[in-house]
């Protein structure tokens, strides 16, 4: 059972979590928007060229960052059970660090 506190001392903490979630979603939307705008150039300049270490590093940073953002957003969804959220958070931290 979920317990919600009406204690006013908790309100700034709840507000901080809400604002943080807005920033996470905004950053994710910006990353997806950037990906959508530059995907054609990426296919032409990266995917069709000879692969090198820099190509792999570029693709790793680009796509693991998006995957990490998805995992972080999923970890903050309140309808996901606590156990599943902990696993999602573990994988998100694995990709970030």
Averaged pLDDT, groups of 10, the chain, 97 residues long = 68 83 86 92 91 92 83 72 66 63
pLDDT of residue 44: 92
- Residues 88, 70: Cα–Cα separation, whole Å: 10
Identify whether 77 is part of a domain.
Answer: yes
pTM exceeds 0.85: no
Identify whether 75 is part of a domain.
Answer: yes
Identify whether 4 is part of a domain.
Answer: no
Q: What's the maximum distance between 2 C-alpha atoms anywhere in the chain?
A: 60
Phi and psi, residue 42, nearest 5°:
-65, -45
pLDDT of residue 69: 78
Identify whether 58 is part of a domain.
Answer: yes
pLDDT of residue 24: 82
Identify whether 5 is part of a domain.
Answer: no
Q: How many CB atoms lie within 10 A of CB 77?
A: 11
State how many domains the chain has: 1
pLDDT of residue 93: 67
Identify whether 35 is part of a domain.
Answer: yes
pLDDT of residue 89: 66
- Structural domain including 50 reads 10-96
pLDDT of residue 56: 92
Identify whether 90 is part of a domain.
Answer: yes
Cβ partners under 8 Å of residue 71, min gap 6: 88, 89, 91, 92, 95
pLDDT of residue 1: 43
């Amino acid at each position: 059972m979920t317990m919600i506190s009406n204690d006013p001392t908790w309100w700034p903490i709840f507000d901080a979590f809400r604002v943080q979630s807005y920033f996470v979603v905004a950053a994710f939307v910006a990353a997806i928007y950037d990906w959508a705008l530059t995907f054609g150039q990426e296919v032409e300049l990266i995917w069709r060229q000879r692969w090198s270490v820099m190509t792999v590093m570029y693709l790793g940073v680009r796509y693991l960052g998006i995957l990490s953002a998805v995992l972080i957003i999923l970890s903050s969804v309140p309808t996901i059970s606590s156990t599943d959220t902990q696993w999602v958070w573990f994988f998100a931290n694995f990709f970030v660090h």
